[in-house]
Chain A
Amino acid sequence: MSISRRSFLKVAITTTGSLVAYAHFGSPTLANPQKANPMPFIEMAPNGDITFISSRSDMGQGSPTSLAQIVLDEMDADWDRLVDVRETESADRSIYKEGLTTVGAISTFIGWFTHREAGASLREGFKLAAAGLWQVDENRLTTENSKVIDPVTGQIFHYHELFDSLPTLYLPKVPNFKTREQSTLVGRPLPQLRSEERVTGKARYGIDVHFPGLKVAVVKRCPTFGGTVKSFDKTDALKINGVREVVEIFNGVAVVADGFWAAKKGRDALTVEWDHGELKNHSSDSIASRLKDKLDKPDVVERQEGDISAELRTDTGIEQTGNFSFPFVAHATMEPMNTTAWVTDDKCEIWSPTQSKLDAQEQVAKFLDRKKEDILLHRTLCGGGFGRRAQDDFVIEAVDVSRNSGFPVKLIWTREDDIRHDYYRSLSELRIIGKLNDEGKLTAWDSALAFIDTSPYHFSPGDRGTKDGLFVGMAGINPAYKIPNINLSYGYLTLPITVGILRGISHGYTNFAIEVMIERLAKAGGRSPLSLRAELLAENKRAHKVIEELQKLNKANPVPKGAARGFAFAYEGESGILYQYYSGHMADVRKLDDGTIKVHKIWVVADHGRVINPAGFKRQIHSSIYFALSMMRSGVISLKNGQVEQGNFDDYPVSLIGDGAENVEIKLIDTDAHPMGCGEKMQAGIQPAIANAIEKLTGTEISGIPIKDLA
């Protein structure tokens, strides 16, 4: 990411006298900076109350709070005056210079550039304004808690007294950022924003959108992946009281009614004849066996170093082969997919709980063959996301229903729709062969992976159909460990099954297999699993430090009687780039009286760079454990005749309050490295640590998920 070294700040005063502050990070050579659309980041009312304007989707992951901390810290604003959060209405890619998709750890990652610069620029602006009014040198002024202070005269301006004098600023250079010591908000465990609206029922999610004349739609989609509508008969559906219209849309038939219940009843009454397409004779088992064939016939050799076949041919040392299978996994966000759309001849307005923003908007424009300026998309709060909402399918559906029916419609997916028409984490097969030589050094690593082609379904339209689109299926196959002979390959099957990102992309299976194999090899070679990892990570300081911390915890906490312990390491990035994180995981498991296996304790050591909000960070780790355990226990979507067999929380159960780890301990290594979020990152390490502990406890090899008898 290149960041301009010159900042531009613009403010606008609204009709109610509020100040909206914009920052622009344009190129210094931009001919006419006023013309550029700057990024709005806060609004300040005439009384000094602050509304944070959120560039990122809020799905409970905490980044809007972190981003507000970054801005308000740099601008030296009074946190107690932060009274509201509003979604950005920005509809122009040039404003933020990206599509505002909320995935990965990028909210914090990018926010550390943009929000810091915005906040510092505004602080500088207030200082300049005060200096002008007082006719003093701005360098002698200081700022704190939404005030500019002149230490010489003791005079004070509250920021909100300076609106009128706040000039449009071209700051000759980016103002200095605060040091860690100067920070007042970054690093503090502040409570999440929007909590009060969330406990009073006032929070408005996509599904809560309401206005006079709005209809509700449900869609009947082909139960078989890739199937299409042959014909349909709407007579009986139209007889249902409250049903207004039945229309065909691009992927099914929609029933539009006065309310959800009538729409759903109408759908039940609808008869559709489908062309079930090529998948109708396929099951997840048959697909898995085709994927297994791919392990020996990969499509891509990702990395090859040393001479793997020569190394594996030598008959010294210890060689281990591990085979792993992972099922399709569904997101099951608490709020099912939904979107409200109102398409008229010249207008298209959308309200959507989306993790996307501009991508979705642009895809709608393309779909309707209209200019993107004519599409207005309001992002709402999201009831969970986990990657599902980065897709635009449900947005386009709503638009199509509205266009074809002529009504403004709120499209609601039933839970069954949500489970059966997800963008699943791909079914995957892995095989890893590893070898320790006679000195116990890891000398060979041969890994093959197969998954369902993720490229056609990539959440980012620009990556669809490209090699980058495959990243979603193969991310994480590259171990951080230094191994002299290494071979990484993967293959994929292109099928009409929608697959995509799910909390941690594919690291959830790639890193799972890697970490189980490392632990197995250590055991076979009589080595400590942590010192083997430490040795293999010796050249990566941050990674090594994480393992060292884990070693300390391991030493300080003897394994309780009857329990067994497993470890794992997870990471992304490489030295030299900013996007990096490292985490170490340790899990103790024990058998309960009923024979099931309970996670007794999990330790997580994390270096995600500078920690913006330690409370939010830890909260994400705690909740990630429940998510991991849901998946390992019962996160299985299976296909029969090309159709998903599960449909709701009864056959796709998720963790309840008693289903977590009995104890959790977290150590954050708070460094000055570039900060990263952690909402999605923890799956990659928590799961294999638990798997390794179970393998140790039971003596039975774990070959993926689900894991039997996991409590």
Chain B
Amino acid sequence: MINLFINGKSFSFDGDEDMPLLWFVRENAELTGTKYGCGIGQCGACTVHLNGTAVRSCTVAMADVAGAKVETIENISSGNKKLHFVQKAWIAEDVPQCGYCQSGQIMATISFLEEFPNPTDDDINKYHTNICRCGSYDDMRRAIHLAAKLQAEGTSS
């Protein structure tokens, strides 16, 4: 039996321990904001925070998340109506096209900005590696810079 916390709620699982966390999040916890795009760690659509760090949940087996704290896109805004500053930046720059990749993009960006609070374009090119097949990248780049600014201003809460 594996116990874990997702968005602060406790869950338990006694199925196939090889199953990627992604499917537990989507099907068992019914948090469908986290997406399946490739299943092999290439696209980042499935990005969640595992114990505070962004991971591609399709590459994390249930066996490895016993006792872990998982956070998904559904939980990053603080309460009703209050968006996370990265989400705010995304809306301000009108990033989403189809939107399918954007949960993952935002989860990845939150972690990225913790490590690179003031990123250069090169940092973004090198370390922001989530796929957006729609190609919303030009708006996204501006949104990442804006989010960095909002983070510095402390408007995260």
| Residue ranges of A at the interface with B (Cβ–Cβ < 8 Å) | 58-62, 191-192, 194-205, 207-208, 210, 216, 241-242, 259-262, 265, 332-336, 381-385, 412, 414-415, 615, 619, 622-627, 648-650, 654-658, 660, 664
Q: How far is the CA of A624 from the CA of B134 in the complex (A)?
A: 8
CB-CB under 8 A for A60 and B96, given A201-B31, A241-B16, A648-B42: yes
With both beta carbons as reference points, the residue of chain B lying nearest to A650 in the complex is identified as B42
Q: How far is the CA of A625 from the CA of B20 in the complex (A)?
A: 34
CB-CB under 8 A for A656 and B97, given A199-B106, A200-B74, A415-B39: no
Which of these, A200, A203, A336, A654, contacts B83 with CB under 8 Å?
A200
Q: How far is the CA of A192 from the CA of B97 in the complex (A)?
A: 8
Which of these, B15, B100, B130, contacts A205 with CB under 8 Å?
B100
Q: How far is the CA of A265 from the CA of B137 in the complex (A)?
A: 35
A654 touches B133 (CB 8 A): yes
User: Shortest CB–CB separation between residue B82 and chain A, in angstroms?
Assistant: 11
- Where chain A touches its partner, the secondary structure class is loop
Q: Name the B residues within 8 Å of A60 (CB-CB).
A: 96-100, 134, 136
Q: Name the A residues within 8 Å of B73 (CB-CB).
A: 200-201
Q: How far is the CA of A332 from the CA of B95 in the complex (A)?
A: 20
B96 touches A192 (CB 8 A): yes
Query: Which residues B59-101 have CB closer than 8 A to chain A?
Result: 72-74, 77, 83, 87, 90-91, 94-101
CB-CB under 8 A for A622 and B135, given A62-B97, A210-B30, A382-B98: yes
| Residue ranges of B at the interface with A (Cβ–Cβ < 8 Å) | 15-16, 18-20, 23, 26-28, 30-40, 42-43, 45, 72-74, 77, 83, 87, 90-91, 94-103, 106, 124-126, 128-141
Chain B CB within 10 A, most for which of A199, A203, A654: A199
CB-CB under 8 A for A626 and B98, given A201-B31, A201-B34: no
Given contacts A199-B95, A199-B103, list 18 more A-B pairs with CB under 8 A. A191-B94, A195-B99, A197-B99, A201-B31, A201-B32, A208-B26, A210-B32, A259-B23, A261-B23, A265-B16, A334-B35, A335-B100, A384-B134, A415-B39, A650-B40, A656-B125, A657-B140, A664-B138
User: Shortest CB–CB separation between residue A136 and chain B, in angstroms?
Assistant: 43
Q: How far is the CA of A202 from the CA of B106 in the complex (A)?
A: 14
User: Shortest CB–CB separation between residue A40 and chain B, in angstroms?
Assistant: 24
With both beta carbons as reference points, the residue of chain A lying nearest to B121 in the complex is identified as A658
Which of these, A59, A62, A201, contacts B74 with CB under 8 Å?
A201
Rank and list the top 9 A-B pairs by shortest CB-CB distance, nearest first: A201-B33, A658-B125, A60-B98, A383-B100, A198-B99, A60-B97, A626-B135, A623-B135, A201-B73
Q: Name the A residues within 8 Å of B35 (CB-CB).
A: 205, 207, 334-335, 383
B91 touches A649 (CB 8 A): no
Q: Name the B residues within 8 Å of A619 (CB-CB).
A: 94, 97, 136, 139
Q: How far is the CA of A149 from the CA of B102 in the complex (A)?
A: 43
A334 touches B135 (CB 8 A): no
B102 touches A198 (CB 8 A): yes
A656 touches B131 (CB 8 A): yes
Q: Mind listing 5 A-B residue pairs with CB under 8 Å?
A: A200-B77, A241-B15, A623-B135, A650-B42, A657-B141
CB-CB under 8 A for A334 and B101, given A192-B94, A265-B16, A660-B135: yes
B98 touches A384 (CB 8 A): yes
Which of these, A194, A202, A657, contacts B33 with CB under 8 Å?
A202
User: Shortest CB–CB separation between residue B63 and chain A, in angstroms?
Assistant: 13
Q: Name the A residues within 8 Å of B20 (CB-CB).
A: 261
Chain A CB within 10 A, most for which of B125, B132, B139: B132
Q: How far is the CA of A208 from the CA of B132 in the complex (A)?
A: 19
Q: Name the A residues within 8 Å of B27 (CB-CB).
A: 216, 259-260
With both beta carbons as reference points, the residue of chain A lying nearest to B97 in the complex is identified as A60
CB-CB under 8 A for A333 and B133, given A60-B98, A648-B42: yes
Q: How far is the CA of A414 from the CA of B31 in the complex (A)?
A: 19
A381 touches B129 (CB 8 A): no
With both beta carbons as reference points, the residue of chain B lying nearest to A656 in the complex is identified as B129
B23 touches A383 (CB 8 A): no
B132 touches A334 (CB 8 A): yes
A196 touches B43 (CB 8 A): no
B129 touches A242 (CB 8 A): no
Which of these, A201, A412, A656, contacts B103 with CB under 8 Å?
A201
B128 touches A415 (CB 8 A): no
